Amino acid sequence: MELHPVQSTGPQETFVLNLGPQHPATHGVLRVKLTMDGEFIKDAVIVAGYVHREHEKMGENRPWDQFLPNTGRIDYLSAMMYTHAYVGAIERACGIEVPPRAEYVRVITSELNRISSHLVWWGAYLLDLGGMTPLLYAFDDREKILDLLEALTGARLTYCYYRVGGLAEDLNEGFVEGTRDFVKEFRPRLKMFRRLVSENIIFRKRVEGIGIIDAEMCRKYGATGPMIRGAGIPYDVRRAEPYSVYPELDFEIPVDPAADSMSRYKVRMEEMEQSLRIIEQCLDRLPDGPVMAKVPRVLKPPEGDFCYATEAARGRFEVRIVSTGKPIAHRVRLRTPCFGNLSLFEEAARGMMLADGIAMMGSLDLVIPDIDR
């Protein structure tokens, strides 16, 4: 007997599903308007702007240094790296030479911030996929970093520790020893995470071959960070546009060519190991000396257009400032990684099952205020 597929005579039935604006899988106030054909995503439209706060306009109506607290509230999980880019742009404009000790401390605190950010992503990602236990492990380790940075900066999340010309203050007593202890304790934990999650067959079935985002798509939408490195391209601002003391340090740029959700996962897990290497080297080479350069009381960068980029936890963050020689910026523009990383979701999600779309979205590591600004 010969079987024939059933031919549909009526119009194709689709329905619209709102993912958000307060769906837990989006980690923020984001709405995705999905056109569904059964369980398959036929089309996806990103509806952003729910938490838009006009950060750039704020930077254009107050003195240069008074914008510093804003930088930690854009990507609140990468506050150190964001502040670094802003003060770096002003230092480049003014020709300010930051003391070596301050630069090493900036790198140490930024890499600790990177690890804490990746731990939040790791725990939340596994929670999206139905696993509760990894979240508890992730926040247990992250708490140790937050304790170190809180004792140093007075904050646990939205840090404002860097200043134009250096740091707000020098390292506190016990920071170096505490950081070394954390590095020693965290390395075995990464191995345990590999056994617990990375090699787990249930997890692997959810992410391997799911959410293919190749290098061409990354270039098309301007995706950077673990997104493009998870597509096999070793682009990292710390190497491509060297800043601070990163050129003096020995570390690798993790890449994976498979371009699926598992690739992006592997890149971030390996990045935490590389951050530990960077922190150890900085602690071993940490010089004595001041942590603040001589800076004018009122900042008036010379006329011109200046840029400075850093490698934040989610990719390339660039600050562009336009100065007219006045105490207030003429223009401030922020190039954040999450906007480009999210923009490709519409194209990449077409044809995927809804559950796989959630797995892919989690691998993007989105921070919604970074998109809306």
Strand partners, 63: 328
Of 357, 260, 341, 342, residue with least CA distance to 41: 357
pLDDT of residue 169: 93
Helix (H, G, I), strand (E, B) or coil at 304: strand
Helix (H, G, I), strand (E, B) or coil at 253: coil
Helix (H, G, I), strand (E, B) or coil at 188: helix
Strand 315-323 to strand 166-167: parallel, antiparallel, or no bridges (unpaired)?
A: unpaired
Lowest mean pLDDT among 178-187, 286-295, 303-312, 360-369: 360-369
Average pLDDT over residues 192-217: 91
- Percentage of the chain surpassing pLDDT 90? 71
Return the structure tokens found at 123: 């725990």
CA distance linking residue 287 with residue 152, whole number of Å: 18
Of 359, 340, 349, 337, residue with least CA distance to 261: 359
CA distance linking residue 371 with residue 314, whole number of Å: 12
Question: What pTM was computed for the model?
Answer: 0.91
CA distance linking residue 167 with residue 185, whole number of Å: 27
For all residues of the chain together, what is the average pLDDT?
90
* Main-chain phi, psi angles of 296, to 5 degrees: -55, 145
Q: HSE on the CB side for 315, CA within 13 Å?
A: 28
Q: HSE on the CB side for 300, CA within 13 Å?
A: 6
Domain spanning 15-372, CATH architecture: Orthogonal Bundle (1.10)
pLDDT of residue 179: 95
pLDDT of residue 17: 87
